[in-house]
Amino acid sequence: MSEAFIYDAVRTPFGRFGGALAPVRPDDLAAVVVGALIERTPGLEGAMVEEVILGNANGAGEENRDVARMAVLLAGLPVSVPGTTVNRLCGSSLDAAIMGSRQIETGDADLVLTGGVESMSRAPWVLPKTEKPYPAGDLNLSSTTLGWRLVNPAMPAEWTVSLGEANEQLREKHDISRARQDEFAYRSHQLADAAWSEGFYDALTVAVPGTDLARDESIRASSSLEQLGGLRTVFRPDGTITAGNASPLNDGASAVLLGSEAAGERIGARPRARILGRGAHALDPRDFGFAPVEAANQALSRAGIDWSDVGAVELNEAFAVQSVACVQAWGIDEDIVNARGGAIAIGHPLGASGGRILGTLVARLEETGQRYGVAAICIGVGQGLAVVVENVSA
φ, ψ (nearest 5 deg) of residue 306: -135, 180
Q: Which helix (H) or strand (E) is 354 found in, with range?
A: helix 353-368
List the catalytic residue out of 189, 281, 326, 348.
348
- Between CA 280 and CA 89 the distance in angstroms is 13
Q: Report yes or no: 337 and 74 within 8 Å, Cβ to Cβ.
A: no
Q: Has 378 been annotated as catalytic?
A: yes
Q: Specify the pairing of strand 250-259 against strand 5-11.
A: antiparallel
The answer to whether 53 touches 81, Cβ cutoff 8 Å, is: no
Q: What is the DSSP letter of 205?
A: B
| Residues shown for the chain | 394
Rounded CA-CA distance 70/64 in Å is: 10
Residues 6+ apart with CB under 8 A from 66: 83, 84, 85
Element containing residue 127 per DSSP (H, E): none
Stretch (H or E) spanning 126 = strand 125-126
The answer to whether 44 touches 269, Cβ cutoff 8 Å, is yes
Catalytic site residue 326? no
Tell me if residue 281 is catalytic.
no
**Strands (DSSP E) found in 316-379:** 372-379
Q: 5-11 and 273-282 as β-strands: parallel, antiparallel, unpaired? A: antiparallel
Provide the phi-psi class of 89: left if phi over 0, else alpha when psi is between -120 and 50, else beta. left
| Residues identified as active-site | 90, 348, 378
